[in-house]
Amino acid sequence: MESNTRTKKVDSLAGINRQRVILVTYLIAAIDITCLFVQFSITPYLAKRLGFDTLWFGYLQTTVGVIQLLGGPVFGRFADIFGARAALSMSCMASVVYFVLLSVTDSTAMLFIHKLPAVAMHVLPGTQMVVADLTEPDKRADALAKLGLCFGIGMITGSSLGGTLSTRYGETCAACVAAVGSFVSLLLVLKFIPKHTKEQRVQEKSDKSRSLFNLGDITRLMKYPGVAKTFTVKITSGLPSGIFQVMFSIIAMNFFQLAAEQNGYLMAYFGVVQMVMQGAVIGPLTARYPESSLLLLSVGVASLVGLAQALMANVFQFCFIVVPMMFSLSMFNVITDSVLTKSVPSTDTGTMMGLCASVQSLMRTVGPTIGGFLYENYGVPSFGYIQCAINAAVFILLFKDRRSEKHKKL
């Protein structure tokens, strides 16, 4: 009896510690996203002041995409082998250096150089790994959705703060504030995040036969059932919206004619909508409906959003489009990440999250080039028409695939 009581106490304590780690992880994610959106609010205007046109700004965005594309899978591998604390510490330290360099940027060359630490800036995938490791598979989608809620908080805070600081005190002040925020994240990681978030016996077994730069060991994850298919959908369906997101700062500045502070308020509005979607909509839906149905729904809504974007004429109309747009984006990312992490062993959740982050980096790599070409030659409506067509095709293929699976079961 006494032994059973002790066991229950240990289990209860473990549950409390686990919950505390998850809550701190959410806080770290919110701070990191806040700092990133402070940077997003000032970089386009800093680049314009330094003489960048749309083409050169696209090159800058591509540079960041390539750097993070190279670093994403390696970071995920690093997290699986050396643990969550080491991985997140490295990412937070890289963020501090990134923002410090931004604060002293006064030339074209320096604007490119300050992007180099982005190779290790993967706080969000790191926090996703921690949440995935510490939650049960059936609760994972809801937990990841709550992490998306932190993204909304960071978007609101960072956009408003970045726009206000850059307008009133200059880009240097805004970058310094972001550097301080990243340093606070680093302290939280060192204080609260455990060395390993996976089961220790699994961790020790995996460490014996793993190397950091083994490309074959990273790509082998694509051989697990359903992984390659989900990744193909993630890239194909996500690419049009990714291009629009990459080019949005240019669209806001040139098409909507928004100043830095106004753009910050618009991004804050995005954050409010995303918070509502993540906190009040996506969680209940993931608990009630199968992931395959929700994936189909998100792709279908994305197609309709693309059509609406093609027909919009001003920022007022765009504000209405933002609601279904944030729903489809949030649902799509949560469901695909959840499906992918559940498709691989627990020892590889970090690597899988690194690969998921690389999808976003791939979009930032090819997005500026494609987006710049479309914007200069066909205008803003072209983004919407392409998104509508591609997502409609993906929706039809997913619908047919789902029907064929149902017939096989019968």
pLDDT digits (tens, 9 = 90+) for 316-364: 899 999 999 999 988 998 888 888 888 887 777 777 877 877 777 777 7
Nearest Cα neighbor of 318 from 237, 257, 238 is 257
Torsion angle, CA of 329/333/339/340, rounded to 10 degrees? 140
Residues 101, 110 contacting (CB under 8 angstroms): yes
Rounded CA gap, 391 and 388, in Å? 6
Q: Give kind and range of the element (H or E) at residue 209.
A: none
Specify the residue for token string 């489009």. 321
- pLDDT at residue number 210: 55
- Angle, CA of 46, 309 and 338, to the nearest 5°: 85
State the architecture of 16-199+217-409 in CATH terms. Answer: Up-down Bundle (1.20)
In 30-69, DSSP assigns E strands to none
pLDDT reading at 46 higher than 90: no
pLDDT tens figures, 174-222: 889 999 999 999 999 998 888 877 765 444 444 444 555 566 666 777 8
Average pLDDT in the 217-234 region?
A: 81
Q: Lowest mean pLDDT: which of 6-10, 106-110, 191-195, 369-373?
A: 6-10
Q: At what angle do helices 260-276 and 2-49 cross, to 10 degrees?
A: 150
- Kindly tell me the burial class for residue 329, based on how many C-beta atoms sit within 10 Å of its own C-beta (0-12, 13-18, 19 or more): buried
Question: Are the C-beta atoms of residues 68 and 75 closer than 8 Å to each other?
Answer: no
Q: Give me the phi and psi of 155, to 5 degrees please.
A: -65, -45
Lowest-confidence range among 25-29, 38-42, 290-294, 387-391?
A: 38-42
Q: What are phi and psi of 104, to 5 degrees?
A: -110, 10
Which residues contact residue 235 at a Cβ distance below 8 angstroms, ignoring those fewer than 6 apart? Answer: 359, 362
Q: What's the CA gap between 323 and 329, in Å, rounded? A: 10
d(CA 373, CA 381): 13
pLDDT at 201: 44
CA dist 120 → 25, 72, 356, 374 (Å): 18, 8, 15, 31
Q: What is the pLDDT, as a whole number, of residue 10?
A: 36
Percentage of the chain exceeding pLDDT 70: 88
410 class by beta-carbon count within 10 Å (0-12 exposed, 13-18 middle, 19+ buried): exposed
pTM of the model: 0.74
Residue 149 and residue 144: Cα distance in Å, rounded? 9
Domain range summary for the chain, segments of one domain joined by +: 16-199+217-409
